[in-house]
Structure 1
C-alpha cells in the first residue's frame, strides 16, 4: 500500500472511528439514564414494581447533559492538542532533547533521526525523551510531517545498539510518511470524551473512601460520604463502557498499520536485524514479567495506540490488543519463528561497547570512513570500531564544517544560516547584501561568513540543510519565526526578481514554519478537475523551469502532462506565461492543491514528473522545484527526486 492509498485508508478509518464513537455515546447515554432511573426509584421509596413518576423531561435532560459533557470533553481535549506532536509528547511526560546535548546516547539518537530525515526527504522532527521509562518503546506524533516529533524511552537509548535504534526510528518515520499520526491524535481527543466518566468516577470514589475512613476514626458517619462512593462507583462503571469501546476502536485502527511500518523500516535501513532485534529485546523484557517491560506513565493507556509496541503486556493479545503480537511481526520480518533476546543496559557494558558508542559521535554513518576529520578528537581505534560497525550502512549523513553544524543545531543561529542560503545565490554587493547590512547590521558579518562556508558544500547538499534545521527553527517563538519569514520575503523582493532558488527556499519555509503550519489541513477537493486552473499554474511553472534545462520548448513539455491528466484537457494555449507566475499566485495554487483528497495526488505528481521527462538524474534546479512542491502539498518526494540529493559528493563534503 503506497503513501496515498494509506492516506485514503486513514480517511475511511475515520468514518469507522465515528461509527464506533456513536455506538459508545449511545451506550453511555443508556447507562446514565438507567442509573438515574434507579436513583429516582430509590428516592420514591425503593420499590421497583409498579408505575414510577419521573420528573418532566427527566430522560431528555439526562441525555442532554451527558451529550454536553462528552462533546465538551472531546472539544476541550482537541483544543488542548492543537499543538500536535509537541502536545502529545508533553502528555507522555517527555522532555525535548537539546540539540547541543553532550550526552553520548542522546547525541547518537539525534544523529540517527537526522540520517533518517535525509534518507526520507522530510523535515527533521524534534526529538523527545521519556527519562523515567526503562522499557524499550517509541512513537511519532503530529498533525503533519512539518511538525512531527519522535519520542523515545530512556530504555531504548540504554538497551539498543545503533542498528536497532535505526530500525525503531525507521518504523516511526514510516508512521510520519504514511499519515498515521493525524488519525492517532484525533483518536486521543475523541476517546477522551467517552472515557472521562471513568476518571471522574475514580476520583469521586477515592474521595468517598478517604472521607469514610476519616468518619470511622471520628466515630461518626455522614451518609453523604457513602453517597460519594456510590456515585463514584456508578460513574466508573458507566465510564468503563467508554474504556471498552476505546480499546476496541484503538485495536481496529492500530494493528494493521504496524505491519506496514515494520516493512518500511526495513526498506529505509535495508537491515531486518535492526528492527527485528529491537522487537526481540522487547519480547525478552516482557517474558521476564518485570515492570521494566511496560510504560509507567499515567497517560500510557490513553496513548497506547501511538507506541511501537504494547504499553502493557496484557494489551498485546486478544480483542483489546493495540498491536499485532511480537511473534507475528517477527515472523513477517524473518519468515520464521524467532527467539527473544535479553536486553541488558549498554551504559553498564564493557569498554569495547563504550568505544562503539563514542564512534557514533565520531562517525556519520557514511561509507567514506577514512574521510572522517577532527583527528585530534578521534583516536584511530575509535575510527576502526566505526569502520567495522557501520561500514556497510546505506544511510547518508553529511559531515558539516563546525561553523555550519553549530548553526544547524542552534535555534538563534539557524535563521542566519537561512539568510546565508539566500546570499549564496546572490552577487556580491547585491540588494540582498544591502538589505542585510541596513536591517540586520549586528548579524550581517556572521551571515556572510556562513554564506562563504555554504559555498564549500556540493550544490545538492544545500536544500537538505533546511531539513536538518527544522528542529532548531521550530524552537523559535512564533514572533521570531514571523520576523524571520518577513526578512526573507523582503530580501527576496529587494532586487524585484524572484529566482528559482529563492522561490524554493521561501515555499518550503512558509509551509513548515508559518503560523498555521502545524495545523491539520481539511480535504476540500476530491479530484484535480476541481482545481483545473491551479494545476495549469503548477504545470506551467515546471515547464518553464524545465525548458532551458532540457533544451525543449515549454509548450511541448506541458503537453507531456496531458498524457497523464487527460481529464484536464490540456492544450498548448493553457501554458501560462512566466511573467504571470507570481509567488503569491503560485502559493495560492499550492495551498488549494494541499486540500486535495489523498488518492487524487498521485496523478498530479506523475504529471509533474512527466514534464521533467525520463532524464536521470534530474537537473538539480528541477529537482529542487519538485521537492518544494511536494513539501507544500505534504507528499513524499518521488524516488527520482530523492536520488538527486543522495548522489555522490553529498557524503564527503566540507570536512573540517
Structure 2
C-alpha cells in the first residue's frame, strides 16, 4: 500500500469514525432514557429533555475539545506537560534526539517538527500529533531518551514519522475531540461525586443530585466502552503499518525490535503516569500507555510486534532480558558508545549529474522513504555548511536566510526583490538577505536548499504571528517582483507560504481532498504547461513534455499546449484546486508532473528538486529520490 492508497484509506476511516460516533451517541442517549424511565416513569417531556440534554452535553464537549486543539500538535504536546527541546541544546540525549529527527525529516521531505520531552515519564513511549506536516509535533518520554540507544530511538521516531506522513495524525487529533464528547457524562458525574464527598448530613436535593451524578457516571461507562472500541478499530492496523514503514525507513529491524523488547522487559514498560491523559491519547502512542488488552487494545500484542521483526524471538527470551535489566537497567548513551560511530555517509551526486527516472517510481516513493533516502539524508546533513546550520537555528537569522534562498541570480531582479522585502520587513533585514545570497549561500548545492528550509522551519514558527504574516507577504512580493523568477524559486516561495499559513491555523487546513482530475482539468493543464515550458528552451520539446504529462493524468482529454502569458505567476490560481484532489488522483498528478519534467527518462539534480518542491506544495512529500535513481 503506497502513500496515496493510505491517504484514501484514512479518508474512509474518517467516514467510519463518524458512523461509530453516531452509534456511540445513540447508545448513550438510549441508556440515559432507560435510566429516566426506570426512576421517573414514562414522562414524554422528561424523556425529550433528557435526550436533548445528553446530545447537548456530548456535542458541546466534543466541540470544546476540538477547539482546544486548534493549535495542532503543539497544543497536544503541551497539554500533556511536554517540555520543548531547545534548538541549540547541549544536553547529549536531547542533541541526539534532535539529530535523529532532523535526519528523518530531511529523508522524508517534510519540515522538521517541533520536539517535546515528557520529562516525568519513566516509561518508553512517544507520539506524533498535528493536523499536517506544517504543524506536527513529536514528543518522547524521558524514559525513551534514557533507555534507548540511537538505533532504537531511530526506529521509534521513524514509526512516528509514518503517522505524520500517512495522514494518521489528523485522524488521531479529531478522535481526541470525538472521544472527549462521548466521555463527558462520565467526567461530569465523577467531578460532582468528588465535590460531594465529605462529612455532614445531606439534604434531599443534594442527595438527588449525587444519585443523578452516580447514574451519569455509570452511563458514562457506555461511552468508555464505545470510545475504546472506536480507538481499537482505528488504531491497531495503522500501528502494524507504522512498524513496517519504520523498518523500511531505517534499513534495519534491530532498532525498532530493540525498543519493543525494552518496553516488554523493563518494569516501567510504556506506561504513562497520568492514566487520564494516557486514556485520551492511547491511540496515538508508540506503545500501550494504558494497559488495555483484548478487544479494546489500541496496539497489537507486544510479542506479536517483535516477532513481525524477528520471527524467531521467543517469550522466554523476553523474560531473560527482563531479569537482566532488573539488575542493571540499560543506558542508551552508554550503549551508543559501545556500538561505535556510524559509517561515513556517501557524498552527494554532482550538481550537474543526471539520473534515470520513471513516473511510477516517483509516485511509489512519495512519503515512503527507504534505506537509500536515509543514507542520502545523512549525506545532506553532513554536507550542509556549519555556518548555514547555525543560521537556521538562530531566531534573528532565520527570516533573512529563507528570503535569501528566493533572491534571483539576475542583479536587476534581485534589486527589485530587495526593495519589496525592505518595504515589509525593514532595510536591515533585506540587506542581510542580500549578503547571505552573495556569501554563505553562493554556490549551494541544489539538493541542500529544501533541507535547509526544513531545518529552519521550527525556528521560523517561533516568530510572532504579525511578523510571520509580514514574512509571507514579503515572500509573495519577492516572487512577484519580476516575471523572470525561476519556477523553483516560485515553488519554494509557495511552499514557505503554505507551511507558515498552516502552522498559524492548523485545524483550518486539515482535509482529505475529494475532487477528480476531470473537475480540475484547466488547472492541471496550466501546471503541466508551466513545468514543460520552464524545463525546455525549445517549444517543440516543451510541447512533447506537456503531452507526456497530460497523458498520465488526463488520458481521455485533449487540451492543446498553451503556456500562459504570465509564466509561473499563472500557478497562483491552480494550487487550491489541485490540493483538493482525492488521494488517488494526486498519484496520477505526481506521475503527470514527473513525466513532464523527465519526458526523456532522465532528470537533472535541479529538476529533481523542483519536482520535490511541487510535490511538497501539494502535500505529497517526496524523499531525496535520486538515491534510488
With normalisation by structure 2, the TM-score equals: 0.87
Check if 1:466 corresponds to 2:453.
yes
Check if 1:594 corresponds to 2:579.
yes
Q: 2:90 maps to which residue? A: 102
**Partners of 1:551 and 1:365 in 2: how far apart?**
44
Kept after mapping to 2: 8 A contact 1:143/1:519? no
Q: 2:110 maps to which residue? A: 122
Kept after mapping to 1: 8 A contact 2:186/2:219? yes
2:515 is aligned, of 505, 523, 526, to: 526
2:143 is aligned, of 155, 163, 169, to: 155
Deviation, 1:462, is 1.6
Check if 1:236 corresponds to 2:217.
yes
Give secondary structure in 2 for the equivalent of 1:102: coil
Equivalent residue runs for 1:594-613 within 5 Å: 594-613=579-598
Q: 1:304 maps to which residue? A: 282
**Partners of 1:560 and 1:73 in 2: how far apart?**
52
Equivalent residue runs for 1:596-635 within 5 Å: 596-613=581-598, 618-635=603-620
Alignment RMSD, CA only? 2.9
**Partners of 2:338 and 2:495 in 1: how far apart?**
37
Q: 1:13 maps to which residue? A: 13
Deviation, 1:417, is 0.5
Kept after mapping to 1: 8 A contact 2:155/2:256? yes
Change (3 A) 1:356 1:420: farther
1:321 is aligned, of 297, 300, 305, to: 297
Please, which runs of 5 or more residues in structure 1 have no aligned partner? 42-51, 369-391, 649-656
Check if 1:167 corresponds to 2:190.
no
Equivalent residue runs for 1:73-92 within 5 Å: 73-92=61-80
Single out whichever of 627-636 and 121-130 deviates more from structure 2.
627-636
**Partners of 1:540 and 1:280 in 2: how far apart?**
53
Q: 2:369 maps to which residue? A: none
| 1:393-438 C-alpha deviation (Å, 9 max, x unpaired) | 6752423434322221123321110122123634387333455567
Q: 2:171 maps to which residue? A: 183
Deviation, 1:98, is 1.3
**Partners of 1:398 and 1:258 in 2: how far apart?**
29
Give secondary structure in 1 for the equivalent of 2:411: coil
Kept after mapping to 2: 8 A contact 1:158/1:345? no
Q: 1:447 maps to which residue? A: 433
Q: 2:23 maps to which residue? A: 23
**Partners of 1:97 and 1:356 in 2: how far apart?**
26
Aligned residues: 589
1:487 is aligned, of 468, 474, 479, to: 474
**Partners of 1:527 and 1:262 in 2: how far apart?**
32
Larger radius of gyration: 1
Please, which runs of 5 or more residues in structure 2 have no aligned partner? 348-373
Kept after mapping to 1: 8 A contact 2:513/2:583? no
Kept after mapping to 2: 8 A contact 1:159/1:345? no
Change (3 A) 1:432 1:260: same
Change (3 A) 1:310 1:529: same
**Partners of 1:88 and 1:622 in 2: how far apart?**
38
1:294 is aligned, of 257, 267, 271, to: 271
Deviation, 1:162, is 0.6
| 1:286-315 C-alpha deviation (Å, 9 max, x unpaired) | xx3x5x6411133110110000111123x1
Equivalent residue runs for 1:233-632 within 5 Å: 233-285=214-266, 288=267, 290=268, 293-297=270-274, 298-313=276-291, 315=292, 317-338=293-314, 339-340=317-318, 341=321, 366=345, 395-396=377-378, 397-399=380-382, 400-423=384-407, 425-427=409-411, 430-435=415-420, 440-451=426-437, 452-514=439-501, 515-516=504-505, 519-523=508-512, 525-548=514-537, 553-571=541-559, 573=560, 575-583=561-569, 585-613=570-598, 618-632=603-617
Of structures 1 and 2, the one scoring higher in RCO (CA 8 A, sep 6+) is 2
Deviation, 1:76, is 1.6
| 1:596-632 C-alpha deviation (Å, 9 max, x unpaired) | 1112211111111122236676223422332222112
**Partners of 2:209 and 2:27 in 1: how far apart?**
23
**Partners of 2:594 and 2:249 in 1: how far apart?**
23
Kept after mapping to 2: 8 A contact 1:197/1:236? yes
Kept after mapping to 2: 8 A contact 1:130/1:151? yes
Deviation, 1:492, is 3.0
Deviation, 1:497, is 3.4
Deviation, 1:367, is 5.4
Kept after mapping to 1: 8 A contact 2:136/2:164? yes
**Partners of 1:437 and 1:62 in 2: how far apart?**
62
**Partners of 2:247 and 2:336 in 1: how far apart?**
26
Deviation, 1:69, is 1.4
Q: 2:370 maps to which residue? A: none
Give secondary structure in 1 for the equivalent of 2:115: strand
With normalisation by structure 1, the TM-score equals: 0.83
Single out whichever of 246-255 and 393-402 deviates more from structure 2.
393-402
| 1:501-544 C-alpha deviation (Å, 9 max, x unpaired) | 32022111111112556634445643111111111111112211
